[in-house]
Amino acid sequence: MKIASREIEVRYAETDQMGVVYHANYLVWMELGRTQLIKDLGFSYAEMEKDGIISPVLDIQASYKKPLRYGDTATIKTWVQEYDGIRAVYHYEIFNGAGELALTGSSKHVCVKKDSFRPISLKRTYPDWHQAYLNAMKKPEDEMGQV
């Protein structure tokens, strides 16, 4: 399974009155993780958008485990959890500088035509991207023919 990793230094502006990262900032970090994964797979949302295709969020979930604070380093791990040719579910784990799990989350996306919001098939429109997602979900034992 392909897992992207991205580090973020927690900035003061991302914290709240309690001195911890404000909860909505984790959603921004999830987007950074998802974008990193797509980049690692050799693709770009920006290129897709030039074709008039966007990828809105259908659902998002976040479970907060430990706080992150100003000056800490957050490490975002992201992978494709589910994919059916049209919808993709990304899973996220964010760790603090001590390697402790701070957040688990997921987001579900679909690709649509920007002008009409009609869903498209990633499999038909971007077959290379489709295959990259299928490959990214494979576990090492799948590649060896074991289940």
Residue 84: active-site member? no
SS3 string of 71-125?
Answer: CCEEEEEEEEEEECCCEEEEEEEEECCCCCEEEEEEEEEECEECCCCCECCHHHH
Which residues are 103's β-sheet partners?
64, 94
| 93 strand-pairing partners | 77, 104
Instruction: Give the pairing of strands 112-113 and 101-110.
Output: unpaired
Read off the tokens for 7.
């580090």
Q: Which of 16, 51, 59, 128 is catalytic?
A: 16
Q: How many CA atoms lie within 13 A of 17 on its CB side?
A: 0
Which residues form the catalytic set? 16
